[in-house]
Amino acid sequence: MREQVRTGLNRRTVLKASLLAGGGLALDALIPLPAALAGAMEGKSPAAARLSAFVAIAPDGTVTIVSKNPEIGQGVKTSLPMMVADELDCDWSQVRITQADVDQKRYGEQSAGGSTATPKNWLPMRQLGAAARAMLVQAAAMRWRVDANQLTTARGRIVDPATGRSIGYGEVASAAATLVPPDLSTVRLKEPGQFTIIGRPLVGIDSARILEGRPIFGMDTRLPGMLYAVYEVAPAHGGRLVRADLEAAKRSPGVKHVVPIVGNGDPDAGLADGVAIVASNWWLANQARSRLGVEWDLSAAKGHSSTEYQAKAEAAIAAGAGTELRLDGDPEAKLASAAKRIAARYYYPFIAHAPMEPQNCAALYQGGRIEIWAPSQAPQRGLQALHTALGIEPDAVTLHLTRAGGGFGRRLLNDYMVQVAAIAKSVPGVPIHLIWSREDDIRRDYFRPAGWHSFEAGIGADGELIAFSDHFVTFGDGKTPARAAGFNVSMPPAGLVPHLRYSQSMLPTVVTTGWLRAPGSNALCFASQSFLDEVALAAGTDLPTLMLRLLGEPREIAAPDNGSPFDTARARAVIETVLQTSSWTQKPAQSGRAKGFAFYFSHRGYFAEVVDASVAGADVRVHKVWVAGDVGSQIINPMGAENQVRGAVIDGLAQALTGQAIEFIDGVVQQSNFHDFPLARMPITPEIDIAWVKSQKPPTGLGEPALPPVLPALTNAIFAATGTRIRSLPVRLKTA
Chain residues 606-665 in contact with other proteins, contact rule CB under 8 A? 638-640, 642-644, 646-651, 654
Output 411 or 501, the one with its CB closest to other proteins. 411
Stretch that binds other proteins, among 177-185, 255-263, 387-395, 668-676 (CB under 8 A): 668-676
Is 105 a binder of other proteins (CB under 8 A)? no
Stretch that binds other proteins, among 169-177, 316-324, 505-513, 671-679 (CB under 8 A): 671-679
Q: How far is the CB of 607 from other proteins (least distance, A)?
A: 15
CA within 13 Å, CB half, 647 = 17
Q: Which of 91, 101, 183, 206 binds other proteins (CB under 8 A)?
A: 206
Whole-number Å distance between alpha carbons of 168 and 180: 20
Q: How far is the CB of 679 from other proteins (least distance, A)?
A: 5
Q: How far is the CB of 245 from other proteins (least distance, A)?
A: 21
Q: Which of 219, 275, 506, 578 binds other proteins (CB under 8 A)?
A: 219
Output 202 or 573, the one with its CB closest to other proteins. 202
Estimate to the nearest angstrom the gap between the alpha carbon of 25 and the chain centroid.
34
Whole-number Å distance between alpha carbons of 423 and 612: 51
Q: How far is the CB of 48 from other proteins (least distance, A)?
A: 24
Stretch that binds other proteins, among 114-122, 301-309, 400-408, 709-717 (CB under 8 A): 400-408
Instruction: Name which of 698, 715, 700, 706 is nearest 656 in CA terms.
Output: 715
Q: Which of residues 231-260 bind other proteins (CB under 8 A)?
A: 253
Whole-number Å distance between alpha carbons of 491 and 471: 13
Q: What number of chain residues touch other proteins (CB under 8 A)? A: 73
Q: Which of residues 186-205 bind other proteins (CB under 8 A)?
A: 201-204
Is 74 a binder of other proteins (CB under 8 A)? yes
Q: Is 49 helix (H, G, I), strand (E, B) or coil?
A: helix
Q: Which of 406, 409, 492, 596 binds other proteins (CB under 8 A)?
A: 406
Output 138 or 644, the one with its CB closest to other proteins. 644
Stretch that binds other proteins, among 62-70, 293-301, 525-533, 667-675 (CB under 8 A): 667-675
Q: Which of residues 151-180 bind other proteins (CB under 8 A)?
A: none
Q: Which of residues 688-717 bind other proteins (CB under 8 A)?
A: 688-692
Question: Do 501 and 321 form a contact (C-beta atoms < 8 A)?
Answer: yes
Q: Which of residues 278-337 bind other proteins (CB under 8 A)?
A: 280-284, 286
Q: Which of residues 445-484 bind other proteins (CB under 8 A)?
A: none
Stretch that binds other proteins, among 131-139, 190-198, 475-483, 669-677 (CB under 8 A): 669-677
Is 223 a binder of other proteins (CB under 8 A)? no
Q: How far is the CB of 33 from other proteins (least distance, A)?
A: 26
Whole-number Å distance between alpha carbons of 464 and 445: 43
Whole-number Å distance between alpha carbons of 728 and 722: 16
Q: Is 305 helix (H, G, I), strand (E, B) or coil?
A: coil
Q: Which of 7, 10, 152, 207 binds other proteins (CB under 8 A)?
A: 207
Q: Which of 3, 212, 247, 395 binds other proteins (CB under 8 A)?
A: 212
Amino acid at position 640, single letter: G
Instruction: Name which of 69, 118, 29 is nearest 698 in CA terms.
Output: 118
Q: Which of residues 422-441 bind other proteins (CB under 8 A)?
A: 435, 437-438
Whole-number Å distance between alpha carbons of 52 and 68: 9
Q: How far is the CB of 273 from other proteins (least distance, A)?
A: 24
Question: Do 275 and 232 form a contact (C-beta atoms < 8 A)?
Answer: yes
Instruction: Name which of 502, 499, 490, 498 is nearest 558 in CA terms.
Output: 490
Residues 6+ apart with CB under 8 A from 51: 30, 31, 32, 33, 108, 109, 120, 121, 124
Instruction: Name which of 199, 210, 212, 362 is nearest 278 in CA terms.
Output: 362
Q: Give the chain's length.
A: 736
Whole-number Å distance between alpha carbons of 726 and 721: 12
Contact string 356-375 vs other proteins (x = CB under 8 A): xxx-----------------
Cite the DSSP H helix spans in 263-340: 282-287, 306-319, 331-337
Mark residue 520 as left, alpha or beta (left: phi above 0; alpha: psi -120 to 50; beta: remaining).
left
State phi, psi for 352 to the nearest 5 degrees.
-100, 160
Q: Which of 70, 238, 405, 451 binds other proteins (CB under 8 A)?
A: 405
Q: Which of residues 564-593 bind other proteins (CB under 8 A)?
A: 581
